[in-house]
Amino acid sequence: METKEPKAVLRSGSLQAAATTCYVATHPRLAGVSGKYFADCNEASPSSSASSPHEAARLWRASESVTAPRPDRTRFGLEPAFPSDSPDEEM
């Protein structure tokens, strides 16, 4: 399986970018296929960044910082989604 480089993704137009989603959602050959990554209408491997727990934690924190404020988790007895608040620590 090939890995898609980010620059290549940015060069494709919106119609081409939507083509893979439409293909995977409607092609009878892919009925029942779930949990796979596709690029250019072919099954592909996601980049190492997309598979990284460290990068997932960084994205989660960045998303939280630009959306609604986080509730006081200790008040509700909840654990944080990711144990580390430092983006430099590995999980």
Cβ proximity of 61 and 81 under 8 Å: no
**How far does CA 82 lie from the centroid of its chain?**
16
**Predicted pLDDT of residue 30:** 96
Q: Residue 73: inside a domain, yes or no?
A: no
* Rounded Cα distance, 46 and 38, in Å: 8
CA angle, 35 then 16 then 48, to 5°: 45
Range of the domain at 37: 1-67
Q: Residue 24: inside a domain, yes or no?
A: yes
Q: Tens digit of pLDDT for each residue in 31-58?
A: 999 999 999 899 999 999 989 999 999 9
- pTM of the predicted model as reported, rounded to 2 decimal places: 0.50
Of the two residues 20 and 68, the one the predictor is more confident about is 20
The stretches of the chain forming alpha helices (DSSP H) are 6-11, 14-26, 53-66
Strand partners, 3: 45
Q: Residue 82: inside a domain, yes or no?
A: no
Q: Residue 47: inside a domain, yes or no?
A: yes
